[in-house]
Amino acid sequence: MIDKKFEREILGFLEEDWVQLWVLCGVAENCGYKDSQVKPAVLDAVTCLLSSDLIQVGELDGESFTPWTGSSLEIVTKIDQYWSVLDRVPNPEDEIWFSKKN
C-alpha cells in the first residue's frame, strides 16, 4: 500500500532543491518506518512518484542535474541494485539524486 503522507513529504523536500537517496531514507524514518522497512518504503514511493511523472532520478554534475532514462521499473531496479551493493543505509557520499519534475 502506498503511503501518501510519505510521498507528500518527499515532494516537499524536492520543492526546495535536488535531494540525495539518504535524504529519502531520513524522511522514511521520520514517517515512522523502521530499519528493515526503509528500503522497501523508499523504493515503493519512488516507483509511484516516477510512474506518476512527478519526479526524476539521476546524477548531479556540478550544478547540472542529469536524469536517468528508462522506465520507472528500470530506474527503481537500478536504485535497488546500487543500494544492495552498498549493504548499508545510503549516506551523503552516495551519488543518486532526485528532482521534482516540472
Sorted by where each starts, the structural domains of the chain and their CATH numbers stand as 4-100 (1.10.10)
- Give the separation between CA 81 and CA 16, rounded to whole angstroms: 28
% the chain with pLDDT above 70:
98
pLDDT of residue 62: 84
Is the sign of the CA dihedral 92, 3, 73, 84 positive or negative?
Answer: positive
Grid coordinates belonging to 75: 530506474
Q: Is residue 74 exposed (0-12), middle (13-18) or buried (19+ Cβ within 10 Å)?
A: exposed
Compute CA 59 distance to the chain's CA centroid, rounded to the nearest angstrom: 12
pLDDT in tens, 68-100: 999 999 999 999 999 999 988 899 999 899 999
* DSSP letter, residue 64: E
User: What is the pLDDT of the chain when averaged over all its residues?
Assistant: 93
In this structure, the chain runs to a length of 102
